[in-house]
């Protein structure tokens, strides 16, 4: 039997703007951390995603001094990977590179959940460019979720939602449909524009439109902090929407649910005022949840799942070791919209 030190685990967190791949051993030592481009299956052609994954795997193996045959388990959390056929395609591709490995693919919310709850009962609320609330219910052995429907008919309370609301406030004031707001100057400054008419080209022709819109979230936080009425209303509405996602996901747990963690992840919660407004809501406080902000990158969850998938036990020592490695390398902070 191979020693745990010689086992290799592969963890991937693939989002809409970047992808992280970790290669570690069976004792929780991270041997290589590689960063690549987006592997979102819904926003890039499969050939691009497949090429990027292959590059990351080869680089990760080389950088960690590992062979493909050493890899016992690989867990990928990928944005836009909800369909079975998408997952199968990724598994087949990865299997061709890692012949000895058990491979699994999850929506990136599932792996982010594992990063904060280690596979125990609990929930994660993600508000980054998009938003989703996701929970694991061990009693039923199932995942529950609310939200995560994308920017056209979902992503409530996300960076995108905050940014789009800011843009609406600006153009409504410009048209004379609403009162003036300090968001106008803040949004134009952020986008380096001189007048609202330029917003159409700046937003719709941006190569990453959703990220561009989400980058306006800090302007909303700033306006709200300074007392701007519309900025405050936008924050309040986003907080309300996120609380609604949590309540809906919580209601889906089986009746024997106990007190559980609610892990907050994503750039929106890096704003202290927003975090406070959310945590202080009475409908959030009335639920038996221990709120905590995720202090490791979401790829950690893929790693935890890979440990279990390799038939190893996820020990508290291992968790502490991984958390420490993140802390040392300054990876504990949220992504920000800058």
Interacting residue with a copy of itself among 177, 259, 276, 327 (CB under 8 A)? 177
In the complex with a copy of itself, the residue whose CB is nearer, 27 or 82, is 82
Residue among 141, 176, 255, 330 that touches a copy of itself (CB under 8 A): 176
- Rounded to a whole number of angstroms, the minimum distance from the CB of residue 2 to a copy of itself is 40
What's the min distance (Å) between Cβ of 173 and a copy of itself? 11
Chain length of the chain: 338
Name the strands in the sheet holding 122-127, side by side, starting at the edge strand that comes first in the sequence. Answer: 142-147, 131-137, 122-127, 260-265, 289-293
- Rule CB under 8 A: say whether 179 interacts with a copy of itself: no
Tell me, what DSSP letter sits at residue 197?
Answer: G
Closer to a copy of itself at the Cβ: 72 or 156? Answer: 156
Give the binding-site size for a copy of itself (rule: CB under 8 A).
35
- Cβ(189)–Cβ(198) under 8 Å? no
Residues between 151 and 170 with contacts to a copy of itself, criterion CB under 8 A = 152-154, 164, 167-168, 170
Among the listed residues 14, 40, 34, 12, the one whose alpha carbon sits nearest the alpha carbon of residue 210: 40
Nearer to a copy of itself, 54 or 203 (CB): 203
Instruction: Compute CA distances 146 → 132, 192, 246, 258, 328, whole Å.
Output: 6, 36, 7, 19, 34
- Torsion, CA 49, CA 50, CA 53, CA 57, rounded to 10: -170
Instruction: Quote the crossing angle between the two packed helices 217-225 and 229-251, to the nearest 10°.
Output: 120
Q: How far is the CB of 80 from a copy of itself (least distance, A)?
A: 8
- Residue 12: name the closest of 31, 41, 28, 35 by CA: 35
Region binding a copy of itself by CB under 8 A among candidate stretches 44-52, 60-68, 110-118, 240-248: 240-248
Q: Which of residues 245-264 bind a copy of itself (CB under 8 A)?
A: 245, 247-249, 251-252
Contact string (CB under 8 A) for a copy of itself, positions 188-227, x = contact: ---------x-xxx-xxx---x---x--------------
Among 277, 276, 270, CA closest to 338: 270
Which residues bind to a copy of itself, rule: CB under 8 A?
42, 82-83, 145-147, 149-150, 152-154, 164, 167-168, 170-171, 175-177, 197, 199-201, 203-205, 209, 213, 244-245, 247-249, 251-252
């Amino acid at each position: 039997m191979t020693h745990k030190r010689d086992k290799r685990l592969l963890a991937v967190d693939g989002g809409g703007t970047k992808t992280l791949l970790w290669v570690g051993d069976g004792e929780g030592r991270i041997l290589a951390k590689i960063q690549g481009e987006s592997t979102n299956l819904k926003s890039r052609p499969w050939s691009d995603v497949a090429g990027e994954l292959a590059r990351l795997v080869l680089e990760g193996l080389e950088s960690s001094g590992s062979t493909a045959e050493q890899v016992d388990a690989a867990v990928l959390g990928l944005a836009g990977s909800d369909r079975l056929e998408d997952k199968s395609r990724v598994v087949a591709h990865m299997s061709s590179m890692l012949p000895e490995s058990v491979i699994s693919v999850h929506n990136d919310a599932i792996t982010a959940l594992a990063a904060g709850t280690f596979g125990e009962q609990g929930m994660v609320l993600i508000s980054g460019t998009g938003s989703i609330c996701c929970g694991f219910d061990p009693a039923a052995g199932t995942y529950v979720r609310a939200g995560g429907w994308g920017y056209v008919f979902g992503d409530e309370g996300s960076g995108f939602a905050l940014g789009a609301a800011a843009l609406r406030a600006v153009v409504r004031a410009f048209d004379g449909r609403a009162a003036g707001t300090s968001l106008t100057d803040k949004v134009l400054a952020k986008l380096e524009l001189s007048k609202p008419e330029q917003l159409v080209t700046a937003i719709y022709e941006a190569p990453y439109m959703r990220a561009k819109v989400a980058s306006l979230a800090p302007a909303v936080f700033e306006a709200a902090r300074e007392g701007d009425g519309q900025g405050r209303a936008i924050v309040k509405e986003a907080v309300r929407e996120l609380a609604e996602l949590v309540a809906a996901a919580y209601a889906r747990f089986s009746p024997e649910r106990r007190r559980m963690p609610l892990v907050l992840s994503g750039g929106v919660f890096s704003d202290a005022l927003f975090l406070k407004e959310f945590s202080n809501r009475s409908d959030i406080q009335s639920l038996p949840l221990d709120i905590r902000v995720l202090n490791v990158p979401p790829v950690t969850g893929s790693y935890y799942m890979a440990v279990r998938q390799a038939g190893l036990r996820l020990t508290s020592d291992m968790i502490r070791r991984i958390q420490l490695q993140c802390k040392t390398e300054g990876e504990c902070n949220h992504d920000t919209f800058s």
